[in-house]
Amino acid sequence: MAAFCCIKSNDKKGHIMKIAVTGLTGFLGYYLAKRFFEKGIQILALVRNTTNLLHLQDFQKNITYVQGNLDDKETLKKFVYGADIVVHMAYERNGASFHEAGNKDIKRFVETNLLGSIELLDAAKCEGVKQCIFISSCAVYGFIYSHIRLDELHPLLPDSNYGAYKASVEAFCHSYFLSKHFGITIFRPVGIYGLAPHLAHSAWYNIVKDIKHGRDVEVSGGGKIVYVEDVVRAIELAAGNKDASGKIYNLMDMYIDNMNVAQIAREICGSRSIISGTPKKSIHTIDNTQSKELGVSYPGIEGVKRYIRELALRI
């Protein structure tokens, strides 16, 4: 892992860095708030007036909350005012899954998420923000060409409204960057795992819980994963880094099937649970070379084992 960090809490003139973050109250946002707090970074957070902020209370002395939504121009200007960097992670889904949210009410989905994201970029331009970091998704790829390397240059053919939304915001990010308004860095993470502030929302929670209590489990499926701390590390490395400007980075550690997760949990817990199901193999491998060159170091299966061990201890 690279030993340097591009984020500095202040410069030689005593300027304290301010980073405006959408989606700070979410799973990834919690870990980002923790890291920025440790670095002494001042955070501007856009939040809805109904949002629960209790899980961020340990970091609140470094957070200034701005109440409002992405569809409010005046609120967005207030939100990004004085910010050096904007990190855009927010995605309104009203309790639905990431993909389900894009299918419920397409008009509202586009107005809130896509048009709201464009308004945010425009506010950043108007207020002189130096860099925007957009947390996209590997869902932008959708259809995969078997004869083309699945790196950041692979064509984008989303097969979901969620993927189409992320790809659309990426296109506007490029537009603002190439028009020389500010620097842009885009990250495309796969499924992010880690301990959630609300433990039951953590990846594989039900599998590990059942196995810890000795219950037999039937599992299926699997997916490409990346540890939440590695996504935060990527954002940290890109913030204020001119070499990351105009770049896109895939964030993926490995593929794991849920059968393997269950077997690891059984071994760690010393459980006698009987595990049934069919292992699933990955069809395509996402190239993560660029993120490694940025300085991200992935833990692989040992990271998964550490996480499952910690999750099992807390259940």
- 80: domain CATH number is 3.40.50.720
Segment 135-146 shows an average pLDDT of 96
In the chain, the number of structural domains is 2
Q: How, if at all, do strands 131-135 and 183-189 pair?
A: parallel
**Among candidate residues 289, 286, 287, 290, the one with its CA nearest the CA of residue 247:** 290
Residues 213 and 75 in one domain: no
Residue 235 counted as domain residue: no
Residue 283 counted as domain residue: yes
Residues 211 and 156 in one domain: no
- The pLDDT assigned to 4 comes to 38
The Cα 236–Cα 5 span in angstroms is: 7
The Cα 129–Cα 20 span in angstroms is: 10
The Cα 115–Cα 123 span in angstroms is: 12
- The pLDDT assigned to 100 comes to 67
Residue 106: pLDDT above 50? Answer: yes
Which of 26-35, 46-55, 100-109, 200-209 comes out lowest in average pLDDT?
A: 100-109
